[in-house]
Amino acid sequence: MVLLLCLHLSSNQLHANNTSTTSNYVSKQQITQLTKKYNSRAGKRLSLWNKMMIKASKLDELQQLKAVNNYFNRIKYLRDKKHWGKNDYWSTIFEFIGSGAGDCEDFATAKYFSLKLLGIADEKLELSYVKLTTRQKKYDANHMVLSYFTSPDAVPILLDNVNLRLKLATERPDITPVFSFNASGLLKSKHKGNPSKTMQYNLAAWQKLMQRN
Partner 1 sequence: MSLSKKLQIFQLFIFMFIFAVNFFISVYNSKDYLQTESYNKAQDTATALSLSLSPLLNNPEDAEIASIITAIADKGFFKEISLHRINKTITAEQLLMHADNQLLTQGEWLLTEVTLDKKYGQLSTNIEQSKIASLLNELNDEQNIQAVDQDISWLRFTPNSQFVDGQSVQINFTAKQKNTQQKEITTTALINVDRSLFTALRNDRFEQTPPWFVRLFPIKSDAAKVMINQGWEKVAVVSVSTNPGQAYHRLYQHASQAAQYSLMALLFSMFVLTIFLNRTLKPLQHIRTLTEDIAKGHFNIISTVPKTYELKQLTLAINEMSIKLAKFFDKLNDDINIVNQKINLDALTQLPLKPSFELAFKNSIDSAGFGYVFIVKIINLASINQQNSPSFVDNMICDFAKLLDNCCSTNNQTNHNSSAQVSAYRFFGGEFVLLFDKANYQQAQQFSEVLSKELISLTQQLQLTELSQIGAAPFTTDTDFTTVLNSASEAFEFAKQVGPNEAIIHQQPEQARDKQQWQTLVEQCVQHGDFSIDYINPGQAINISAGDDNNIMREAFTRINTQDGQHVAMATFISIVEELKYNVDFDQQVTNKIISDIKQKNLCHNLLINLSVASINDLAFIDWLETVLTENNTIAPQLYFSISAYSAAKQIPVLKRFIDKIHSLGSRIIIKRYETALLPLSELQSLQIDAIRFAKEYTNDIATEAPKQQLIKNMLEFSQLMDISLYTEEVVDPEDATMLAKLAQHKTSGLTS
Positive or negative, the Cα torsion across 27, 33, 39, 40? Answer: positive
CB 178 within 8 A of CB 167: no
Should residue 173 be labelled a site residue for partner 1 when binding is judged by CB under 8 A? no
Q: What is the smallest separation between the CB atom of 63 and partner 1, expressed in angstroms?
A: 7
The number of helix segments (H) and strand segments (E) in the chain equals 10, 7
Give the CA count within 13 Å in the CB-facing half-sphere of 95.
Answer: 15
Cβ burial of 95 (10 Å; 0-12, 13-18, 19+) is: buried
- Residue 85 or residue 152: which is nearer to partner 1 going by CB? 152
Which range, of 17-25, 40-48, 102-110, 147-155, touches partner 1 by CB under 8 A?
A: 147-155
Which range, of 2-10, 49-57, 97-105, 149-157, touches partner 1 by CB under 8 A?
A: 149-157
Should residue 156 be labelled a site residue for partner 1 when binding is judged by CB under 8 A? yes
Should residue 165 be labelled a site residue for partner 1 when binding is judged by CB under 8 A? yes
Count, residues near partner 1 per rule CB under 8 A: 22
Cα separation, 123 vs 184, in Å, equals 9
Candidates 150, 194, 207, 211: give the one binding partner 1 (CB under 8 A). 150
Should residue 121 be labelled a site residue for partner 1 when binding is judged by CB under 8 A? no
Should residue 28 be labelled a site residue for partner 1 when binding is judged by CB under 8 A? no
In sequence order, which residues have a C-beta less than 8 Å from that of residue 127 and are 6 or more positions away?
105, 108, 109, 112, 144, 145, 146, 147, 180, 181, 183, 186, 187
Q: What is the smallest separation between the CB atom of 201 and partner 1, expressed in angstroms?
A: 20
Per-residue contact string for residues 66-85; x = within reach of partner 1 by CB under 8 A: x-------------------
Should residue 168 be labelled a site residue for partner 1 when binding is judged by CB under 8 A? yes
DSSP letter string over 190-204? HTTT-HHHHHHT-HH
CB 101 within 8 A of CB 75: yes
Should residue 123 be labelled a site residue for partner 1 when binding is judged by CB under 8 A? no
Should residue 166 be labelled a site residue for partner 1 when binding is judged by CB under 8 A? yes
- Interface residues with partner 1 (CB under 8 A) are 62-63, 66, 147, 150-157, 165-171, 177, 179-180
